[in-house]
Amino acid sequence: MIPLAGARVLIWGWGRHGGGAAAARHCAAQGARVEVLDRADAAALGADFSGRWHVGDATHPVFAAADLVVASPAIPPRAWPAHHPPRTSPEGLFFAAHRGPLVAVTGTKGKSTTVRILSTLLGWQAAGNSYEPLLDVLERHGPTVPIVAELSSFQLWYLASQPPRILLAVLTSLAVDHLDWHPDVAHYRAAKLALLDWAEQRLGHAGDAPGLTCSIRCSDGGFERDGEVLATRDDLPLPGAHNARNAALAIAAALAIGMDPAQVAPRMRQVVGLPHRLATVHTRNGITFVDDSIATTPEAAMCALAAIPGPLAVLLGGSDKGADFAALAQAVANRGAHPVLIGNTAPRLAAALDMVGVRWSRHGDLVAAVAAARSLLPHGGTVLLSPACASFDWFQGFEDRGRRFAQAARDAG
């Protein structure tokens, strides 16, 4: 990476989670002349930035004039021109400056929760992707702070040009996702698996990638290593077999770092679930409303279907990432759930459900869908938002979708 002092640095894409702002502050602190390029103006994004702000894309003259482009990971490979200035990302800036111990977690699903459990076990800072930006943690705690980092496939693709060295890498799962960003499945998988090559140690469940193992087994007896129970299933305050799977990886990683096995159970009990992940948001008249808006893949929604007992109505649908819904439709049929369809993918979901003989209803807004789901449970049960799709058709993001579901649930009574 070029020296930042005196360089003309362009932040390309401000982002929704503070990554652009963190990168701008970091570069300015190193003496760079920082400008921003985004499709929207600063006011529309609520951006607090006093420097020069340009509206446009890679064809804007400021792009070619930059000494270094710091790109938001949301910008896909296809957006880059064939010839461009040197590039990095906010995560690339972080790894160039960070010198402390770091565990990196990636996966199609489960990475945020695994980071939450592992950071609680170790007492380290959690950062990256769905957490606060890595550069913000660096700015607040210094370059040697121990971190458990969540890294998405987008972030990993940008890091591949300057691979960091990592103490330990954890792969939570490997399916198919984000084919609206990656050109194909092979590209997506390669971005994920590259992390394993950058680590001194690597962990994962057998079958997700060659050579991965996890020393912790989760059974009815709890979380075991070599026959010794380190914690019971009740010590983990998160529902579902998928969360037990995440916890097994987190425990294995913590022990690999050097955690005292005697501390596993008491620290597991301190884990607090993340918002929009199988979170109960309202209960009334025998109906429980559960927000699992983070479930943006069929595999995640299938985990949610398996985690909730009793009568169930499930809201499915959203913006399209190219997923196949056949297995999800079969899971809905096997579960006996009542599907209520929303969003742009509703026609594709309906076709998949028709193939397995499941009746469905479709609604044009979330409030109507929640009311319809509630009416399908006359004797009580659970209304579950687990869409299996992204949220950018009707909503600003999965957080916005989850908040609006919770409000609709409360309004439904």
Q: Go through the domains of the chain in sequence order and give each one's CATH number.
A: 8-88 (3.40.50.720), 93-268 (3.40.1190.10), 279-412 (3.90.190.20)
Question: What average pLDDT does range 256-264 have in this prediction?
Answer: 97
pLDDT at 18: 83
Q: Pick the closest to residue 377 from 296, 283, 299, 277 (CA basis).
A: 283
Q: Is residue 1 over pLDDT 90?
A: no
pLDDT tens, position by position, 274-284? 999 999 999 99
Q: Is residue 413 over pLDDT 80?
A: no
Question: What average pLDDT does range 262-271 have in this prediction?
Answer: 98
How does the average pLDDT of the chain come out, rounded? 96
The CA R_g of the chain, rounded to the nearest whole Å, is 22
- Cα gap 171→169, rounded to integer Å: 7
Which pLDDT band holds residue 322 (cuts at 50, 70, 90)?
A: confident
Q: Residue 109: which residues within 8 A CB-CB, separation 6 or more?
A: 172, 173, 175, 242, 295, 297, 299, 300, 303
pLDDT at 117: 98
Q: Residue 62: which residues within 8 A CB-CB, separation 6 or more?
A: 10, 35, 37, 52, 54, 56
- Cα separation values, 302 from 66, 241, 242, 281, 412, Å: 46, 11, 10, 20, 25
